Amino acid sequence: MALKIGRNDPCWCGSGMKYKKCHEAFDTKLEQLRQKGAAVPGHEIIKTPEQIAKIKESCKINIAVLDYVEEHIRPGISTEEINRWVHEETIKRGAIPAPLDYEGFPKSVCTSVDEVVCHGIPSDSQILKEGDIINVDVSTIYQGYFSDSSRMFCIGTVSPEKKKLVAVTKECVEIGISKVKPWDPIGNMGHAVHQHALDHGYSVVRQIGGHGIGLEFHEDPWVSYTSMENSGILMVPGMMFTIEPMVNMGRDAIWTDEKDGWTVRTEDGLPSAQWEVTVLVTDTGCDVICW
């Protein structure tokens, strides 16, 4: 049994303020919405101001590592080279690459080229060539706090079709960000992302989505980018999650390579793109804390 928190007790969020001056009104609102049938988050995924500060430190490293990749990526390098950069640039900053050994993942970063949707494994034998598009997905653990973001890179001159896929996928994320409003259901965000992809004749992967993040690599909620409006958990201040749609040029169907257990590809072999940011829901909208 949980004891009800007293109004003059310190708030559960760790702000040091009295509950009545801090999250009491927030909890009342959540409870009222829950009673009206809304799916509401538990306190365990609402970040405290201290946690937010720590997670943002982790994000800074994640961003710096991706900036390094952005400056150095070019035709002729292997995806293993990207893995070395990510590993070294992360360690140098006192952090740990989250993918390494995560559920057996063998490398420090995911590198997904062309028809690879996600979770591509860097390799010495995979050389980037003119015309490739690649997603580099970096995740960092710093002092126990997690961050996660990914970017697309066009290698040399890329076909107009692939360039457009990359650009529209980025727009999908930007539209998703604009739909993160406190107390709205998260389905509104996913629906807008999906709609933009559909408007361009693309599809969005259904089986793999985004996630809460911060104290763990993958926390609740699971986040869909093919959701219905007015569905899903409410986005409330202090929640953090990723916006990372995988947008396919052709059909949404995907398959996972049984040989390595990780590499996810499009079934039709057509290219797929993904950008990933992490957002913190605020009182007015959201902060993009990792990109």
Residues that bind ligand MF3 (CB under 6 A): 99, 102-103, 105, 110, 119, 137, 139, 148, 211, 242, 244, 276
| Shortest distance (Å) from residue 173 CB to ligand MF3 | 13
- Where b means 16+ CB within 10 Å and e means fewer, 9-36 reads eebebeeeeebeebbeebeeebeeeeee
Longest CA–CA separation in the chain, Å: 64
Q: Which does 266 bind (CB under 5 to 8 A by kind): ligand MF3, Co ion, none?
A: none
| Shortest distance (Å) from residue 150 CB to ligand MF3 | 6
In the complex with ligand MF3, the residue whose CB is nearer, 67 or 283, is: 67
Q: Are 233 and 221 in contact (CB under 8 A)?
A: yes
Q: What does the alpha-carbon distance between residue 288 and residue 276 come to, in Å, rounded to a whole number?
A: 11
Q: Are 190 and 176 in contact (CB under 8 A)?
A: yes
Kindly state the tokens that stand for 30. 């959540």
Residue nearest to ligand MF3 according to CB distances in the complex: 99
Among the candidate windows 10-18, 142-150, 189-197, 225-233, which touches Co ion by CB under 5 A?
A: 142-150
In the complex with ligand MF3, the residue whose CB is nearer, 81 or 148, is: 148
Residues 196 to 255 in contact with Co ion, rule: CB under 5 A: 242
Residues 143 to 172 in contact with Co ion, rule: CB under 5 A: 148
| Shortest distance (Å) from residue 200 CB to ligand MF3 | 23
In the complex with ligand MF3, the residue whose CB is nearer, 41 or 99, is: 99
Pick from 90, 59, 80, 170: which is nearest to 127 by CA?
80
Q: Are 164 and 191 in contact (CB under 8 A)?
A: no
Q: Which does 105 bind (CB under 5 to 8 A by kind): ligand MF3, Co ion, none?
A: ligand MF3
Q: Are 233 and 243 in contact (CB under 8 A)?
A: no
In the complex with ligand MF3, the residue whose CB is nearer, 11 or 118, is: 118
| Shortest distance (Å) from residue 99 CB to ligand MF3 | 3
| Shortest distance (Å) from residue 159 CB to Co ion | 27
- Give the x/- contact pattern for Co ion in 41-80, rule: CB under 5 A: ----------------------------------------
| Shortest distance (Å) from residue 43 CB to ligand MF3 | 23
Alpha-carbon separation of residue 103 from 100, 112, 155 (angstroms): 9, 18, 30
SS3 string, 199-255, reads HCCCEECCCCCEEECCCCCCEEEEECCCCCCCCCCECCCCCEEEECCEEECCCCCEE
In the complex with ligand MF3, the residue whose CB is nearer, 65 or 110, is: 110
Q: Are 221 and 215 in contact (CB under 8 A)?
A: no
| Shortest distance (Å) from residue 137 CB to ligand MF3 | 4
* Footprint of Co ion (CB under 5 A): 148, 242
